[in-house]
Structure 1
Amino acid sequence: MTSVHAGRIGKAFCSGKARPWREASSLIIAAPSNASSSGIISDYSLLYLKRTSGSSFPNAYVYPGGALDNADRNPKWILQFSKYCKNFISCVINDFFLKSIGKYQSDLFLSDTTSLKKGAVPNEIAFRICAIREAFEESGLLLLTSDPVWKKQGFTDIRCKCVASLLSNQQVEVWRKKVRENAEEFFNLCVFLNMVPDIWSLKEWSQWLTPAFSGFMKSNKRFDTVFYCCCLREMPSSVSYDAIETTEYLWKSPAQMIEMFLAKKAHFFPPQIIENMRLLNFTAIEKLNEYICERSSLGIERWTPYIVVTKDSMHVELLPGDAAYPEDFNESTELTGIPSIDLTYEQLKSLQPTFRMRFTLTPKDTLMSLSCTAKLKLGQISTAPIQSVLNMQSSL
C-alpha cells in the first residue's frame, strides 16, 4: 500500500489531458412545501430518485442526472436560444462566464469566448442542458422557458417552474421515450413547445469526481459530475419515475432524508450524504435561492475523494481542504489499492483542518465521523452541525 503525508489541497487536473472518466450533470431541485422533520422545519422539499439495482449507484437515492451527450453540445442550441434571448452570446459571457478564474476553479469551465462566438456550445451551457434533459427523462419534470431575461425581476427572484402541464400525460411519456432513446429529441421538444431550457435558473452547486481503485471503481465507471441547484416557484403537479433507471421518487426535505438514512430506509453514497448535510443549513427556499445566486459567480472546484486506511484499519474519505489530503494527488491515476496512512484514526482526528468522513457499519456513526472545519473555497458552505441531526426527535 502507498503511504500518504499530511498536506493541503491537490492541484487541479490539467485540462489539456484526456480525462479517463465520463462527464455528467446532476440537478438538486427544490420546491416550496410545508415539509417538517421532528422540530426542524423547512419550507421546501427536494426531489430524490431511487436508482435501480443494476445502475452505477445501485439502490441509492440520488438527485436527477446523467451523462453528458453530444446532443447537449449541438450548435443548433445557440440559434434556438438566440430566438428568445436578445444578444444571447453577450448574455452567456455576462451571466455564465466568470470574470476571473481562481487557482482552484474547475477546469471544465474555461469561459471560452472565442469558440462561443464561432457557434460552439460552451460547457457552461451544455452541462445545464444535460441536467434539464436528464431531469425530464427520469422524472418528467420539464424546466423550460420562453422568457429567459430573469434579471429584470431581481437577481434572486425565483422564476423557474415546471412546464410539463403544456403537454398531456400521454405526450409527456411519448417525449420521455423519444428523448431517452435519442438525446437529440430534447431539442425537437423545445422547438415543438417554442421554448428553451431554463439554464438561467440552474446555479452551480458543486462538482464531484468518483475515486478510482482497482476492484472498487474502474475508470470507465467514474463520473465527473457537476451538481446544479434550482429553486422552483411552485411544487410540480406531477412527477413520475421512469421505471428504467429509477424505481421511486420522493419529495423530502434534507432533514427528512437524513432521518431516513439514520433509520436505514435510504441508502446514500458519500456525495449525497455530504450534500444533504450542507443543505441542512437552509430552512427557507428564499435563503437557499439567495445563496446559490450569490455564490454561483465564484465558480466551483472539483472534489475528488481520497480514501485511506489508518494503522488501525479504519477507512476514511478525505476531501480537498483536509490537512491529510495529499498535495500531489493525480486525479487521473487509477490506484491499485487503498493507500495507507501512517496514523491511527485517533491520531488522524488530531490533524486540522478537516473535511473527512469515516466509512462505518451504521449510519449514525458515519454521520458522527463527518467533520468539516476547513474553510471551503469559492464560497462553499460547510456541512451543518452533526448534533442538529442527532437531536431530531425521530421515531427510530
Structure 2
Amino acid sequence: MNRIVGKAWRDSASIIVLNKLSGDSLARGRGAGLNYEVLLQTRTSRASFPNSLVFPGGVNEPLDESDAWLDLFGSFGYTQHDFNALHCAGGAVTSIFQPDPVKRHVALRITAIRETFEELGLLLCSRDPKSKRTSLWTSAIADVETKNWQDRVSKNPGELLNLCKEYKCYPDIWGLHYWSNWLSPVHLPKRFNTAFFIAAFEQEPPKLESNSEVSSVQWSNPIDILARNNNRELELYPPQGYELNRLIHWTDIEDLIKFAQERSCHSNENFFPVVVEARDGVLHILPGDDLYPTNVDLINGNDRLLKDKTVLELRQSSKTLHRFEIIPSQSKAQFLIQNYKPKNHINMGDKTIEVQITIHKSK
C-alpha cells in the first residue's frame, strides 16, 4: 500500500495542540465542561484548504529525516532505545510509517514541529536532558528571534536544525503522541497523507506569531467550535470535525493525554474516505462501515460507487455505520457511528451528529 500511496499523496504531519485551562478560566466558564482548549488556525484564501479552520502542520521534507537529528538528540542523552519506544514492534504498521517505522515516527514529528513553528511561531522544543524529562506535557521555548527564524526555516527546512544548535535545544518529539492517519480524497488536485499528533501544555504556552498563510489563530473550546460549525459560522473539513468529536469524549486533559501516550506507538486504520453516490445524496464512507470496499483503489477512489438506493435505505440496510451522509435537497449532513469499534482508539459508541462539513469538490 505504501508504494501506491507514495505516488499519489504527499506525506504531511499536523499537531492537535491542547492547552490546560487554569482554575480562573474554568471559573469564568471558558471550559464548557472541558478543562482544555485546542489551537486552531484559519487559512488564508491563497493557502491549502482556503478559509477553513485547521490544525497547524504541513508537508514532510527530506531534511526532516537527516541523521544529524539523531546526533542532536544524542547530545541530550537520548539513545536508540528512546527512538524505538515511539513504535510498538511486531504489529501492523500504519502506511505513513512504512517502510522504517522508527525513522518515520521521528521524522514526521520533526515535520509537525517545524511546520507549526513556521505557521504560528510556536517552537515545540526542549532544553532538558533525557534524565530530567518525565512529564506527559510538551515543552516550548520562547527566547528566539521568532520572525527571523520563521523566515529562514520557511525558505530552508534545514534551518530548524541550525536554530536548535544555536539555542541549545531539540524538537520535543516525545511530547507528541501519534493520534491518527488521514488520506485526502482522490479527486483533490493536491492530496496529503497526514499523520496527526497530539501535544498538550500544562501551562499557558508562549505568544503566537502567525505567518502569511494564516489569517487568524485562536485557542478554542472544541464543543464551542463544533456548535459554531453547525450554525455555519465557520468551516471544518471532515478530519477536523471528526477529531474534535473524538476529543470531547474526554473532559479531563490529563486523562486524554495519558490515553494518547499509551496508544501512540500502535497502528490504526488509514482514514481514507470512499465516496458513495445514492439516489438523493452522497455518502463519505470510512473504514469499518459495511459499505467500505474490501479492496480500496487508492488511485481512483473506486471511481465513486453508485447505489440505486436513497441515503436512508442505505443506512437501514447496513449493520455497521461509519460515515458522513449528505442530502443536498434537505441542506442536511450527518455523521453516523453504529456498531463500529476502532482499532487501538477511542470507542465513541453509537452516535448520530448533525454537522456542517466542507466536502471536497471534484476536479
SS at match of 2:287: coil
**Per-residue CA distance 1:277-302 (angstroms, 9 max, x = gap):** 11111111111111101111322321
Q: What residue number does 2:360 align with?
A: none
Q: What residue number does 1:313 align with?
A: 280
**Residues 161-310 of structure 1 aligned to structure 2 (within 5 Å):** 161-164=139-142, 166-167=143-144, 171-213=145-187, 217-218=188-189, 221-242=190-211, 244-310=212-278
Cα deviation for residue 256 of structure 1 reads: 1.2
User: Number of matched residues?
Assistant: 351
Assess, with a 3 A threshold, how the Cα gap between structure 1 residues 387 and 53 changes in structure 2: closer, same or farther. Answer: closer
The partner residue of 1:143 within 124, 149, 162 is: 124
**Residues 89-168 of structure 1 aligned to structure 2 (within 5 Å):** 89-93=80-84, 95-102=85-92, 105-110=93-98, 112=100, 122-147=103-128, 149=130, 153=134, 157-164=135-142, 166-167=143-144
d(CA) in 2 for partners of 1:346 and 1:287? 37
**Per-residue CA distance 1:286-324 (angstroms, 9 max, x = gap):** 1111110111132232110001111x2311100001010
**In structure 2, what residue type is equivalent to 1:278?**
R
Q: What residue number does 2:291 align with?
A: 324
Cα deviation for residue 57 of structure 1 reads: 0.7
Cα deviation for residue 385 of structure 1 reads: 4.4
Assess, with a 3 A threshold, how the Cα gap between structure 1 residues 160 and 152 changes in structure 2: closer, same or farther. Answer: closer
SS at match of 2:264: helix
Assess, with a 3 A threshold, how the Cα gap between structure 1 residues 18 and 137 changes in structure 2: closer, same or farther. Answer: closer
TM normalised by structure 2 equals 0.88
Point out which structure has higher relative CO (alpha carbons under 8 A, 6+ apart).
1
**In structure 2, what residue type is equivalent to 1:345?**
V
d(CA) in 2 for partners of 1:98 and 1:201? 17
Q: Indicate conservation of the 8 Å contact 1:278/1:383, yes or no.
A: no
Q: Indicate conservation of the 8 Å contact 1:261/1:363, yes or no.
A: no
Q: What residue number does 2:361 align with?
A: none
**Per-residue CA distance 1:197-216 (angstroms, 9 max, x = gap):** 00001111100000112xxx
**In structure 2, what residue type is equivalent to 1:268?**
L
d(CA) in 2 for partners of 1:51 and 1:313? 32
**Per-residue CA distance 1:229-250 (angstroms, 9 max, x = gap):** 01112121411321x2110001
Assess, with a 3 A threshold, how the Cα gap between structure 1 residues 183 and 356 changes in structure 2: closer, same or farther. Answer: same
d(CA) in 2 for partners of 1:76 and 1:20? 29
Q: Indicate conservation of the 8 Å contact 1:314/1:358, yes or no.
A: yes
**Per-residue CA distance 1:152-172 (angstroms, 9 max, x = gap):** 63xxx43323212x22xxx11
Structure 2 runs not aligned, ≥5 long: 356-363
d(CA) in 2 for partners of 1:203 and 1:362? 41
Cα deviation for residue 387 of structure 1 reads: 6.6
**Per-residue CA distance 1:114-159 (angstroms, 9 max, x = gap):** xx7xxxxx11100000000111111111111122537963xxx433
My pick for the range that moved more, 68-77 or 33-42, is 33-42
Q: Indicate conservation of the 8 Å contact 1:209/1:222, yes or no.
A: yes
Assess, with a 3 A threshold, how the Cα gap between structure 1 residues 81 and 372 changes in structure 2: closer, same or farther. Answer: farther
**Per-residue CA distance 1:248-281 (angstroms, 9 max, x = gap):** 0010121011122022121011111111111111
Assess, with a 3 A threshold, how the Cα gap between structure 1 residues 112 and 270 changes in structure 2: closer, same or farther. Answer: closer
**In structure 1, what residue type is equivalent to 2:91?**
I
TM normalised by structure 1 equals 0.81
The partner residue of 2:325 within 345, 358, 361 is: 358
Q: What residue number does 1:80 align with?
A: 72
SS at match of 1:267: coil
Q: What residue number does 1:5 align with?
A: none
d(CA) in 2 for partners of 1:264 and 1:148? 47
Assess, with a 3 A threshold, how the Cα gap between structure 1 residues 361 and 232 changes in structure 2: closer, same or farther. Answer: farther
